[in-house]
Amino acid sequence: MTKRISENGQALHRAMMSRTKADQPSEAEQALTEERRLLKEERDKRQAQASQPKPSAADRMLRTHHAQAKDKPKATKEAKDAKDVKKPKPRRTRAEKHAEKAAALEAARRSPKKPAK
């Protein structure tokens, strides 16, 4: 707010200095003066509001709205058919994987070796 008042004052000063020796202020100068007056009034309102006593933390705690738990709606969905439910793929256990690998190694060891060409 202070910055806006300051900028307005600088613009008003430039307008006043650019005015020739005429006694009447220009329209731009009058508009700047009115805007400056409004800015100062708004600043005074804000300062007056800031000087008012504010609610304490205890007051805020007493006046806050505490939400109440809502009733849960009844389940209206129909039971799904057994066909619709997908079963997860059966996974092999670690022991089964190791047994399969050992069997493959044993089979490779027993198979006849092919001669290198």
Q: Could you tell me if residue 6 is inside a domain? A: yes
* Distance of alpha carbon 105 from alpha carbon 99, whole angstroms: 10
Domain count, the chain: 1
- Cβ-in-10-Å burial (0-12, 13-18, 19+) of 19 comes to middle
Host domain of residue 46: 2-51
pLDDT tens string 8-22: 888 888 888 777 666
The whole-number pLDDT of residue 93 equals: 93
Contacts of 15 (CB under 8 A, 6+ apart): 25, 26, 28, 29, 32
The overall pTM is greater than 0.85:
no
Residues in the chain, pLDDT under 70? 20-22, 64, 75-85, 115-117
Q: Could you tell me if residue 9 is inside a domain? A: yes
Q: Could you tell me if residue 116 is inside a domain? A: no
Q: Could you tell me if residue 71 is inside a domain? A: no
Give whole-number Cα distances, 87 to 82, 83, 84, 91, 92, in Å.
10, 10, 10, 12, 15
